[in-house]
Amino acid sequence: ETGVTQSPTHLIKTRGQQVTLRCSSQSGHNTVSWYQQALGQGPQFIFQYYREEENGRGNFPPRFSGLQFPNYSSELNVNALELDDSALYLCASSPDRVSSYEQYFGPGTRLTVT
C-alpha cells in the first residue's frame, strides 16, 4: 500500500509569485485535506476535498485554492505569495469524508518565500 506522497520536498519562491504543490493520496482514499504549519505551530486547516469537490475551508484567503482530480490526487495553489506563507504544507488523506477517523499525512512540502 503506497502512502501519501507530496512534491516537491522543498521550494523557494519570491514574494508575489505563484506556487503549486502536489499530493497523491493513499490508495483507496477519496478525501484530501491540506494544512499549513508555520515553524513552532500546529498545522492549520486550509481546506478539504472530497470526490473532487471542496468540502470545507479554514480561515485562509481566496488566493489559496485547490483541486482534486478523478484519481483523488490534489493540488494546492497559492497566488501572490507573501513572506508569511513560508511554512510546511502538509497533505493528509483519509478513506472517507465522515466515517473514517484517521488522517494519514504526507511528508510535506517546505515552502520558503523570500
Q: Which of 26, 108, 111, 113 binds other proteins (CB under 8 A)?
A: 108
Task: Please report, as residue ranges, which positions from 60 to 89 form the binding site for other proteins (by CB under 8 A).
Answer: none
| CB-based burial label for 97 (10 Å; 0-12, 13-18, 19+) | middle
Contacts of 59 (CB under 8 A, 6+ apart): 44
Nearer to other proteins, 21 or 108 (CB): 108
Give the three-state DSSP class for 84: helix
Query: Per-residue string for binding with other proteins, 17-56, x by CB under 8 A?
Result: --------------x-x-x----xxxxxx--x-x----xx
